[in-house]
Amino acid sequence: MTIGKNNKAQMRMEVAMIKTSKKVLSFVLAIAMLLSTTACSGGDKSWSVKNDNLTVPIGVYIYNLYASYQMAESSVPDKTKPVLDQKIEGKDAESYIKEKALNYTKMLLVMEDKMKEHNLKLTDEEQKAIQSATETQWQQAGGILEKYGVAKTSFQMAFAEYYVKFQKIFTAVYGKGGKKAVPDDELKKYFEEKYTDFSMISKPLSKSDANGAVTALSSDEKEKAKKEFDEYAADIKSGKKTMRQAADAYKASSKSETDVLENYTQPLASSPYFKDFAAVLDKMQPGEVKATEIAGSYVVIMKNDIKSKTAEYLKNESNRNEILVNDKGQEFSDEMDKLAAEYKNAQINESAINSYKPSMFVTPSESSAAPANSTASK
């Protein structure tokens, strides 16, 4: 079959039209895909969560992700294995870290609601304390945090401001006049049961040279220290010296330029630093004196009657708040954590949050993770 010239020309025109239509269709589809991708991954990534009262910058979430990763490092069952290869509380580490970070971030919304609920505002003094704490800590951590995308303003909100508001809300709830105000009788009971009051003179069983190198005392030096401290303890027990007089004698003997008498009123069981002291003091009676070795030092230690301190200690507002925190702090923290986890009034910027992974904090020795965002977020 022969095709005429006119038919061939028409066919070429139709083929050209088909090709042109395909190109147009491909272009339209490409534009549509581009717009679709932009809609999914674009948008404002400057914030992480918000409600009608507060918009929380993405830098706050990054800081909380960093803090949660640090927490996970100390929580994993095997410290020799990479953090993200393990499980914490039955969850894979990445999920655990991201969940904690989001809840800590939503906590700012919870606290903002609580501040309004209790009609609380930060005082000028509290604002200054927040600024001071931020400046001090930023000098130490700012260089690292900026590399991850945390601006100083975000750090202030996530760190210093967070803790000041948390304490303020806690005091409004459990302090005098609060909904769950703790009576003085309960605080008195807690103080006398959980706290220990003691005085101490101590000598480290090591020394450092001009270059800062630390070496243990020789056997002769240790024996000399033991003899001296045993004599102080014997003099105190016999009434020849008070703890004050023994301390002054040791200050002169050691040629110290500062007072060597240390006085503590502490809940020993909740302080890792005082763990070794608790092992000794828990077996002592009020008024008892002992010379012994504790935590790398030789000491003369006297356990005082805690009940003689109660009235004076509780009279101080700062001390009273400290006892409140020790007594009810965990209860309050658990309640606030639950409110943050179940918070319903938050808008969550998923695209911004999902831009940051716990793997960004893995060191090169642990993994070949990609470098973190170097531009500080607001």
Domain coordinates in residue numbering, the chain: 47-181+325-361, 188-311
- Cβ contact 158:106 at 8 Å: no
* pLDDT tens sequence across 126-183: 999 999 999 999 999 999 999 999 999 999 999 999 999 999 999 999 999 999 999 9
The whole-angstrom separation of Cα 238 and Cα 286 is 16
Residues 6+ apart with CB under 8 A from 187: 314, 320, 323, 324, 327
Q: Mean per-residue pLDDT for 354-376?
A: 69
* pLDDT tens sequence across 257-295: 999 999 999 999 888 889 999 999 999 999 999 999 999
Say yes or no to pLDDT of 16 above 60: no
- Cβ contact 106:343 at 8 Å: yes
The whole-angstrom separation of Cα 149 and Cα 77 is 29
In the chain the first and final C-alpha atoms are separated, in Å, by 75
Quote the Cα angle for 56-58-63, to 5°: 100
Residues 6+ apart with CB under 8 A from 86: 76, 77, 78, 92, 93
Q: Which fold has domain 188-311?
A: Chitinase A; domain 3 (3.10.50)
Say yes or no to pLDDT of 39 above 90: no
The whole-angstrom separation of Cα 78 and Cα 297 is 32
- pLDDT (0 to 100) of residue 378: 58
Say yes or no to pLDDT of 367 above 80: no
Q: Where does the pLDDT of residue 19 fall: very low under 50, low under 70, confident under 90, or very high at 90 and above?
A: very low
- pLDDT (0 to 100) of residue 22: 39
- Cβ contact 332:174 at 8 Å: yes
Q: Where does the pLDDT of residue 347 fall: very low under 50, low under 70, confident under 90, or very high at 90 and above?
A: very high
- Higher-scoring residue by pLDDT: 113, 364: 113
